[in-house]
Amino acid sequence: MTTAMRGTSAEGTATDLPRLLPASQQPQEWHAHAARYGGRVPFRGAPGRLIPDVREAGLTGRGGAAFPVHRKLEAVLDAATSRRKTAVVIGNGAESEPASDKDATLLWLAPHLVLDGLQLAAEAVGADQAILYTHADRRHDVGRRLEQALTQRRQAGVERVTVQLAQAPPRFLSGQETAVVNHLGGGPSIPTFIPPRPSERGFDGAPTLVQNAETLAHLALIARHGPRWFRQVGTAAEPGSTLCTIRRADGTARVTEVPLGMPLRDLLGPVTLDGAVLIGGYHGTWLPVAQAVQLTLDNHALQAAGARVGAGIVITLPPDSCGIAETARVVRYLALESAGQCGPCLNGLPRMAAALAELAGARPRRQARADLERWAGLVTGRGACHHPDGTARLVRSALVTFAAELDRHGRGRCSGTNPRPFLPVPRAQARTEEDWT
């Protein structure tokens, strides 16, 4: 992050980035937050009043699905009104994707911005309780930072709705929306069937807003500066900035805030044109570098290439790594992380992992590629959550992007000279009941 704050006001001009992270990269205590953003939460005085601004801003969820935030707010508020049941707000910082570090970084460096957003979201849907859900097993002790932040806020007298902190188990599906609600309600941390949507009937049966931590931070800034300010970066169709986790071929990783629509060429840094990049993380898409450098980081541009921004993960594969071996490791992990509730996912993912492991080795059976294609088609759209769909997306993109490498493996060769694993994959865990709680 080299962008310093320019401009004359303390907050810089509207196009300056970063907006969310402190330019100093030092954790922002309450007094620093208050100095930068103002020492009060810009409440609107009644439920619903913030929603038109959010609509005009065009803010979408930054957890990966890019769903319009105003529609979620409206759905929860409508359900709360029609059912006469007070809503609940859950801030989702359970960033479970091993390659992503943006929510943990945001919560560590700018907890007050997320907590401002949580209060504002609670007001917008008329909620009387809020929960912030995070992982405990990260590099930083995010839970303790949030406890300190909440103490500072109570002392400053800015909290209206009481915020509870809760911990997510270290599993890939922990941050999935229905899994969050299920776990906070005392159940296992695994997805449930929709309907009902959490916005209709979620935590404790109440209409529940589940919103990603970064999304809440953007919400707080829209409430402060208005929708026009928000739209001064990004594209017309996808406004604003977004946090990204960038992993380069040299093994370095950083979290940075970029405008949506930024050229991937500028984001990637030094690359070799015959290499490959993974866009959107482990439910994402492999693309040849030569194709990626023509694209921009927004869903409109990426969709044409079969990719999505997702949670903003952009990874460059080292030129001496084998993309098939890397994908095989990841898919094995994803198969082990299946909740095992739905037949197609339970049966399909381990088979896909095994076929990929075979393809990663020398002289795989010809049938393995066709099996993978078929299983990818068979699992898509057939789970209660999108875990099988995302896994199938990754597998299919690997079959296309690494087609030449697959041919090489068929002849008993591999262009990967470095067998050291590159993509971060937690140690595989056997599935037991306790793992989910």
Partner 1 sequence: MTERLVVNPIECDGHGACAELLPEMITLDEWGYPIVDGRPVPPALDRDARAAVSACPTLALRLLRS
Nearer to partner 1, 190 or 399 (CB): 190
Nearer to partner 1, 85 or 382 (CB): 382
Query: What are the φ/ψ torsions at residue 148 (nearest 5 degrees)?
Result: -60, -45
Nearer to partner 1, 91 or 188 (CB): 188
Residue 160, CA distances (Å) to 115, 175, 226, 265 in order: 11, 26, 22, 44
Give the DSSP per-residue string, 173-209.
TTTSHHHHHHHHTTS-SS---SSSPTTTS-GGGS-EE
The helices-and-strands tally (H runs, E runs) of the chain is 17, 11
Nearer to partner 1, 38 or 343 (CB): 343
CB of 384 to partner 1, least distance (A): 5
Tokens standing for 146? 């949030």
CB of 190 to partner 1, least distance (A): 9
Nearer to partner 1, 23 or 346 (CB): 346
CB of 157 to partner 1, least distance (A): 45
Q: Which among 89, 95, 92 is positioned nearest to 128, based on CA atoms?
A: 89
**Ordered alpha helix ranges (H), 320-386:** 323-337, 343-360, 367-379
Q: Which among 294, 299, 262, 260 is positioned nearest to 277, based on CA atoms?
A: 294
Residue 234, CA distances (Å) to 229, 230, 371 in order: 11, 9, 41
Q: Are 33 and 112 in contact (CB under 8 A)?
A: yes
The Cβ-side half-sphere exposure at 279, using a 13 Å CA radius, reads 28
Nearer to partner 1, 248 or 374 (CB): 374
CB of 203 to partner 1, least distance (A): 19
CB of 67 to partner 1, least distance (A): 21
Beta bridge partners of 130: 89, 163
Q: Are 340 and 384 in contact (CB under 8 A)?
A: no
Nearer to partner 1, 200 or 214 (CB): 200
Eight-class DSSP state of 386 = S
Nearer to partner 1, 62 or 183 (CB): 183
Nearer to partner 1, 226 or 344 (CB): 344
CB of 428 to partner 1, least distance (A): 23
- Burial environment of residue 322 by CB neighbours within 10 A (0 to 12, 13 to 18, 19 or more): buried
CB of 192 to partner 1, least distance (A): 7
Strands 262-263, 276-279: parallel, antiparallel or unpaired by DSSP? unpaired
Peptide bond into 388 cis (omega under 30): no
Nearer to partner 1, 202 or 348 (CB): 348
CB of 178 to partner 1, least distance (A): 10
Q: Are 294 and 285 in contact (CB under 8 A)?
A: no
3-class SS at 31?
helix
CB of 96 to partner 1, least distance (A): 20
Q: Site residues (CB under 8 A) for partner 1?
A: 192-193, 341-345, 347-348, 378, 382-384
3-class SS at 168?
strand
CB of 354 to partner 1, least distance (A): 14
